[in-house]
Amino acid sequence: MSVLRNNRIRMLLSALLLTLGVAVPVLAYPQDPDNAALLYYQAFLSCPKAEEPLDTQLRDFADGKIALNKEIEGYVESCGSAIKLAIAASELRECDWGLRYSEGFSMILAHLAQIRTLGHILIADARVMASRGEYAEALARCVTVLKITRHVGDKTLISTLVGWAVEGTTYRCIQDLLGQMPGDVKALEQLRADLTLLSKSRASVRNSLEIEREVVLEQMKMEKVPDLLKDLDPNRSPEESMKLIMEYGGEAFLEQCRGHYSKFMTSVMSIIESDASYAEAHRRITEAFEQPGKDQKSKKKEAMFTASITPAIGKVYGLMIKATTHANAVRTAVELYIAKGKTGRLPETLPAGMPKDLFSGEDFEYKKTETGFMLKCRGKDLDKDEIHQYEFKVPK
Amino acid sequence: MNEQKDEKWLDELISRSIDTSEPKFDAEQWKQKHPGEFQALVEGGARRPLAARFGVLSIVMRSRIAQVAAAAVLVIAVGLFIARLDHDGQQQGEPEQWAKSPAEMVTSASLRTAYNRGGMEALEEQCDRAARILGQGLLSMKDVVDESNG
């Protein structure tokens, strides 16, 4: 026992016991997942199935098309566990859905269907809370959905599009909530902080196009091209397709196809990344998308894959501008609501330094209306041939 | 492989992704508007004897008005044929026609086809339809007990 009289050894033993004391409870059970997707998948499984007509009602209620009823309220309440899982997932940084990119266009994206449903449930929950006057909580729920859309990700073109769709529904819900809630400046400032943070992590079209390019280039190889052709033309057998590819020149032909496709995608990505105005970028992208069709008409066989695969991405640039502009309009509106909450009335003009209307690159046109105010784009959406405007109501 | 076959294959492949169709003659509308003429067109040839048909042909060759009318009938007949082909083609293009399982509704290819066909609205609709089929929902304790009891 004389050993224990030694101060150094006593300190060492104390540190060892302390470490064990702290560490043992942590090691008693495995840690919660740090991959948000695992929690989302659990949330999907935890959602009770909504039969018709409840399923449609839920979606319509989330979209603000119908009023709340007892069935919807009861269903949203029964989704409590799924909502809790979704909130926990939305707070995590990492989200790996475990997609099999090697499958190319046959890759299953079932989570995209489910994430839309989960989004509708969360937005419905926000509207239910708003109906009880819990506006700060309702806005927080909307922010959760926006965080989830960041997790939906930009790893595939389709997931980027689905993310924008869910985001659009969420911003429309926020618009409705802002139009109902009394001037709660604290809640509005929290919303402003959340939206500013989220604006820095928007889905990158460049990223989804880059991954799309890599996936497609991999599919345009001899061993995988039958699968790609089957996806593009399900009525043709892989053997038949292979025979045709061989007649065109086999691998040498596919190499030409890869070159054509890669060049096309690089040019589109460089336009999207450039500092060009929306109108200029739209013009250049339209020209770029006409090229594969022209090449095909002038008997350039190597254009065949480019011409058949790329139409899906033709409108993506416009959709990106539309989604970001909608987000910017809501952020601008939040500033106006905060100003009203502080001063009791809406400002006469837009404050300086507001997020822009990306169709024109300028501030939104701000106009007070009888029921609130309107933020109108100054540039036209050239794909839709219309000028978007966003209406905001102000509670009396 | 001849040039014509090459082009046909490329056209088929591309037309699945892009709507390259020309404005088509609306045969159904024409049929409803002109039931008498349609009936005559369908049945006319079959009812007449061979000799009578040769008689008509000789009249057509002689009369300018009859030539124009005959050309119009020919255009309509071709229109009917193309409309029929187009209808078949559209049915094949529907994703639900070739999606053999619910999971196939949510492949990258299937979702892209929906987007190509009808933009964001069609993509969202396809996701929602898939979610209705794929969503299993929670088993209640009662379900578990019922299943255990057979």
A 144-163 residues with CB < 8 A to B: 156-158, 161-162
Residue A50 structural domain? 35-96+105-203
Residue A108 touches partner B, C-beta closer than 8 Å: yes
Total structural domains within chain A? 3
Average pLDDT along chain A: 89
A 18-47 residues with CB < 8 A to B: 44-47
Quick: pLDDT tens for A198-227: 999 887 888 888 988 998 898 888 888 887
> How close A369 comes to chain B (CA, Å)?
30
- Nearest CB among A164, A232, A312 relative to B13 is that of A232
Residue B112 has pLDDT above 90, yes or no: no
User: Which chain A residues are within 8 Å of B124, Cβ to Cβ?
Assistant: 116, 162, 165
Q: Do residue A175 and residue A307 come from a single domain?
A: no
Residue B88 has pLDDT above 60, yes or no: no
pLDDT of residue B67: 62
The verdict on residue B141 lying in a domain is no
Residue A104 touches partner B, C-beta closer than 8 Å: yes
Q: Do residue A40 and residue A26 come from a single domain?
A: no
A136 contacts: CB under 8 Å, gap ≥ 6: A184, A186, A187, A190
Q: Do residue B39 and residue B100 come from a single domain?
A: no
A5 contacts: CB under 8 Å, gap ≥ 6: none
User: What pTM was estimated for this model as a whole?
Assistant: 0.73
For residue B43, CA distances in Å to A350, B35, B46, B51, B53 come to 73, 12, 5, 17, 13
Quick: pLDDT tens for A154-201: 888 899 999 999 999 999 999 999 999 988 999 999 999 999 999 998
By C-alpha distance, the chain A residue nearest B131 is A113
Q: Do residue A52 and residue A112 come from a single domain?
A: yes
By C-alpha distance, the chain B residue nearest A108 is B107
Q: Do residue A192 and residue A225 come from a single domain?
A: no
Residue B135 has pLDDT above 70, yes or no: no
Among residues A203, A235, A269, which one ends one of the domains?
Answer: A203
Q: Do residue A42 and residue A27 come from a single domain?
A: no
The residue among B2, B6, B13 with the most chain A CBs within 10 A of its CB, best to mutate, is: B13
Q: Do residue B114 and residue B98 come from a single domain?
A: yes
Residue B27 structural domain? 23-93
Q: How confident is the model at residue B110 (pLDDT cuts 50, 70, 90)?
A: confident
Q: Do residue A120 and residue A160 come from a single domain?
A: yes
pLDDT of residue A183: 82
A-to-B residue pairs, Cβ atoms closer than 8 angstroms:
122
Q: Do residue A22 and residue A57 come from a single domain?
A: no
A217 contacts: CB under 8 Å, gap ≥ 6: A258, A261, A262
Q: Do residue B113 and residue B74 come from a single domain?
A: no
Q: Do A113 and B106 touch (CB under 8 A)?
A: yes
Q: How confident is the model at residue B49 (pLDDT cuts 50, 70, 90)?
A: very low
Q: Do residue A215 and residue A228 come from a single domain?
A: yes
> How close A263 comes to chain B (CA, Å)?
19
Q: Do residue A8 and residue A120 come from a single domain?
A: no
Q: Do residue B51 and residue B110 come from a single domain?
A: no
Q: Do residue B84 and residue B115 come from a single domain?
A: no
Q: Say if residues A388 and A359 touch (Cβ distance below 8 Å).
A: yes
Percent of chain A surpassing pLDDT 90: 62
Q: Do residue A55 and residue A126 come from a single domain?
A: yes
The verdict on residue B105 lying in a domain is yes
Q: How confident is the model at residue A20 (pLDDT cuts 50, 70, 90)?
A: low
B 120-139 residues with CB < 8 A to A: 120, 123-124, 126-128, 130-132, 134-138
By C-alpha distance, the chain B residue nearest A241 is B9
